[in-house]
Chain A
């Protein structure tokens, strides 16, 4: 069964550094998402992306965050200047038809540790 893959599985970075988290969504999916989960807490929506533009973003997704689909297969989340509170699991997801008609398929996440 096709799956969403995320790399790296664990990223350690120093405060103030830029990080790029990478995702390869399921190949025929058109809708893409990033979520984050601080340890032991709920899964928080960051951003949704369709047709090469952001569809919706949460208040967490401020100017420090950006997303890009640089080619036909990758979907990336960039954090420009990391803060300690950005430490979390970041999950990428994709869906075939959008949230009203189809489920989201999640990757296994990237654990980001900011020191």
Chain B
């Protein structure tokens, strides 16, 4: 399966701390995407990183990609209570026409 797997499953931190979530996948990829899901809501796209990119930033988010290790990480700096959500990585299916999501990391940020 090319499905990404996030690590850790759950993460609890204090406001102001950084949160790092990791994703490992099994097959070669064209791109890897990160999504966020607030409880009971749909997924929201955060960042798309292509296989020829090593790092990408968006505001307080930093995503890295290491294709040799088949892994990616999502770093949220200076976390806020509003960052509390589940975070998923996703890779393209082998047929190339669907995104397959990992099991996600549940992040809890307390104030």
Q: Which residues of A contact B (CB under 8 A)?
A: 4, 31, 33, 35, 41-45, 48, 50, 55-56, 58, 89, 91, 93, 98-100, 102-109
Contact = CB atoms under 8 A, between A and B. Distances in A.
B96 interface: yes
Interface string B76-104: 00000000000010001101111111111
A9 to B, nearest CB: 10
B31 interface: yes
Interface string B39-82: 01111110010000000000000000000000000000000000
B101 A100 contact: no
Contacts of A55: 95, 97-98
Interface of B: 30-31, 33, 35, 37, 40-45, 48, 88, 92-93, 95-104
Contacts of B95: 55-56
B45 A99 contact: no
A56 B42 contact: no
Given A43-B37, A43-B101, A55-B98, 13 more contacts: A41-B103, A43-B104, A45-B93, A45-B98, A55-B95, A93-B43, A98-B97, A99-B96, A99-B99, A103-B45, A106-B43, A106-B44, A108-B42
Nearest to A49: B97
B91 to A, nearest CB: 9
A76 to B, nearest CB: 17
B108 to A, nearest CB: 15
B98 A48 contact: yes
A109 B42 contact: yes
B41 to A, nearest CB: 5
A102 to B, nearest CB: 8
A88 B95 CA distance: 25
A91 B33 contact: no
Contacts of B102: 42
Contact of B30 (A31, A35, A91, A100): A100
